[in-house]
Structure 1
Amino acid sequence: MNIFDFAMQMEKDGEEYYREIARKTKDRGIETIMNMLAEEEVKHYQILLEMKTRTPKVPETKILANVKNIFAEMKERHEEPSPDQPQIEMYKKARELEKKSQDFYEEKSGVVETEEQKEILLKLADEEKRHFHIIENIITFVSRPHTWLENAEFKHLEDY
């Protein structure tokens, strides 16, 4: 299996995992975020599929802005997530998977054949880093909803 096939499978697995979390979560906002992350994984899959045959265009992502809006809406509705331990463990696993994906793309960027492929893999690594931070914020949010929601500026979601 070449690195593109492996990476494509990794993205497919990530999409399926986020959709599973979305189905199992009790919080509408977090469900929306998990579905957004799943869609990001679909985009990554398409980029990798194109890389196998030619150099793809990497689309810009607006996921951080959308996630901030969802958290703001949850705050306005006074929704507080339940610190359900099995859900938190799912989020922690998702965070771990994003870190592994980031590390994989960074490592493989050093062994691809072209500079364009290297650049694309590094962009994917940056995307995975953003996803890691989004999930990290979800973990904090569900673990400590009162203190997390007190910050109206949502500094927790810095633009990485």
Structure 2
Amino acid sequence: MNVFDFAMKMELDGKAYYERMAAETEVGGLKTIFTMLAADEQKHYDTVVAMKEGADGTMASTTVLEKAKNVFQELTGEKDLLGGMKKDLDGYRHAMKIEADSVRLYEDMAKKESNPDIVMLLLKIASEEKKHYNIMENLYDFVLKPEYFLAWREFSNLQEL
């Protein structure tokens, strides 16, 4: 399996995972977040397909991070939902691993690519995957320790992924 096929598989797996999480949650805000994440993974898949076929490809930036921040603000007032959300902690942690693996994959692909346009696109996808990681990390932290959840953590600290 070449690197493009592997990336395409990862994106489809991520999409399916977020669709399953959206279907399983009873929290409307989370359903929205997971649905948007699934749509982003489809967008990444389409971009990788275009690159595999030789196109430079373009991709609009995600808006899921900004929308997720608003959902978290709404959830802070609904502590009674946390009990049902805690059962999904392993799922949130697994999603973080998937996103971290995706970041590494796209950054590695960018290092091996000679076309600067493709390099920029791969790094853009990696940046979006970091945003997805950030969303899942914040969700995990929020559900695990709501009493310590102070503010949205930005994704700039994800260089070690």
Instruction: Give the TM-score band, short-chain normalised.
Output: 0.7 to 0.9
- For residue 92 of structure 2, what is the amino acid of its counterpart? Y
Aligned length: 155
Residue aligning to 2:14:
14
Matches within 5 A, 1:60-139: 60-75=61-76, 80-82=81-83, 85-139=86-140
- If the length of structure 1 is used for normalisation, what is the TM-score? 0.86
Greater helix fraction, Structure 1 or Structure 2 = 2
Contact 2:22 2:30 in 1 (8 A): yes
| Segment of structure 1 superposing worse, 76-85 or 18-27 | 76-85
Would the alpha carbon gap of residues 106 and 126 (structure 1) be closer, same or farther in structure 2, given more than 3 Å must change? same
Contact 2:36 2:64 in 1 (8 A): yes
Unaligned runs of 5+ in 1: none
Runs of 4+ aligned residues of structure 1 deviating over 3 Å after TM superposition are 75-80, 83-86
Q: Is 1:36 aligned to 2:36, yes or no?
A: yes
TM-superposed deviation, 1:147: 3.6
Counterparts of 2:78 and 2:138, CA distance in 1: 19
Counterparts of 1:113 and 1:3, CA distance in 2: 15
- For residue 4 of structure 1, what is the amino acid of its counterpart? F
TM-superposed deviation, 1:134: 0.7
Counterparts of 2:85 and 2:43, CA distance in 1: 30
Does the residue aligned with 1:81 lie in a helix, a strand or coil? helix
Residue aligning to 1:52:
52
Counterparts of 1:79 and 1:40, CA distance in 2: 29
TM-superposed deviation, 1:84: 5.2
Unaligned runs of 5+ in 2: 157-161
Aligned counterpart for 1:158 among listed residues 142, 149, 154: 154
Counterparts of 1:15 and 1:119, CA distance in 2: 23
Would the alpha carbon gap of residues 89 and 77 (structure 1) be closer, same or farther in structure 2, given more than 3 Å must change? closer
Q: Percent identity?
A: 35
- For residue 15 of structure 2, what is the amino acid of its counterpart? E
Counterparts of 1:82 and 1:33, CA distance in 2: 19
1:51-87: per-residue Cα shift (whole Å, max 9, x none)?
1221111212211111111122334566532265541
Q: Aligned Cα RMSD in Å?
A: 2.0
| Segment of structure 1 superposing worse, 115-124 or 25-34 | 25-34
- For residue 68 of structure 2, what is the amino acid of its counterpart? V
| Segment of structure 1 superposing worse, 69-78 or 105-114 | 69-78
- For residue 154 of structure 2, what is the amino acid of its counterpart? E
- If the length of structure 2 is used for normalisation, what is the TM-score? 0.86
Counterparts of 1:31 and 1:127, CA distance in 2: 19
